[in-house]
Amino acid sequence: MSCADFSRITVVVVTYNSAHCLPMLSPVLSVCPHVVISDNGSEDGTAQQAQALWPHATVLSHGRNLGFGAANNRALEGVTTPFSLLLNPDCEMTAKSLGELLAAAANFPDAALVAPQLMAADGKAEINYRWPSLYWRSRGAGAEGPVCVGFVCGAVMLLRMSRMAMTGFFDERFFLYYEDDDLCFRLFQAKLPMVLCPQVKVLHRSRGSVRGRSPWQSEYWRGYHHAQSKLIFLEKHQSIQAASRLRRQLIWTTTLALPLRLILFSPKLVARMWGRWRGVWAFRS
């Protein structure tokens, strides 16, 4: 692929204490003329290091954590290229893979979104695509060729901007988690195709993008926001009653499970479960 091909794409990377991930992004960011780093108030010098590594990049320093969807939205507001690639800091992508995704988008001109097969660090394929969970339960063998799906993980997404304008981008009520579920569900309802290309593989070091001063605090907020976002998603796309039923269920199951985690003393799981309990308790319709 030539540089001229990549001039059709703006790469958007949302960062939060992700300085340790920046070097592995260079294979893609160094060959793309349009790059936006949307930094959520990192305290490890991420924004400064990104600007030094890629002088051509636009670095948006928000000064605080806006949330994953909101930080993506701030970057997408200024995109003028036909395509935008949303790339998590914990994903290792090559220029060749990006070229293959762009070629796939040309082969499927109606697709609003094209995504690769994510691979775990152990070399196994991740389950990063499925049908909409509110409609069907996905089962069966993995895709062997390009296929229309109802959901892809938001870690790597190539967006066709003209098609995305029909639904908008991320709902900022989702601070973290389920923002990709919500986006894909809206695309599915609007009958805008999402194409998974299993021949394009990208290494995903899941949960490797954040390295803060307090790992327990990070686990607490993971649990908190996952619980909140799950309930917001259910209320938005199913009903208030369904969200209320799940809230009651989560309060009881988490309350009963917390003492067991304390006895076994798994600090990360205790922190995450406490965050989940607080997130569920704080949820209001």
- pLDDT tens digit string along 48-105? 999 999 999 999 999 999 999 999 999 999 999 999 999 999 999 999 999 999 999 9
Query: How high is the pLDDT of residue 147?
Result: 96
Residue pair 114/108 in contact (Cβ under 8 Å)? The answer is yes
**Per-residue pLDDT band at 183 (split at 50, 70, 90):** very high
Span 226-231, average pLDDT = 97
Q: Rounded distance, CA 236 to CA 246, Å?
A: 13
Does residue 225 have a pLDDT over 80? yes
pLDDT value of position 26? 96
What residue ranges of the chain are covered by domains with CATH 3.90.550.10? 3-204
Higher pLDDT: 155 or 265? It is 155
Compute CA distances 244 → 85, 222, 235, 248, whole Å: 36, 21, 8, 6
What share of residues in the chain are helix, strand, coil (percent, to 5)? 45, 20, 35
Judged against a pLDDT cut of 50, whether residue 2 lies above it is answered with no
Mapping DSSP to helix (H, G, I), strand (E, B) and coil, where does residue 66 land? coil
- What's the pTM value of the predicted model, to 2 decimals? 0.93
Average pLDDT over residues 5-9: 95
- Asked if the model's pLDDT at residue 191 lies above 90, the reply is yes
| 3-state DSSP assignment of residue 113 | strand
Question: Is beta strand 151-152 parallel, antiparallel or unpaired with respect to 129-130?
Answer: antiparallel
CATH of 3-204, one of 2.40.110.10, 2.40.340.10, 3.90.550.10, 1.10.10.1100: 3.90.550.10
User: What pLDDT shows up at residue 3?
Assistant: 46
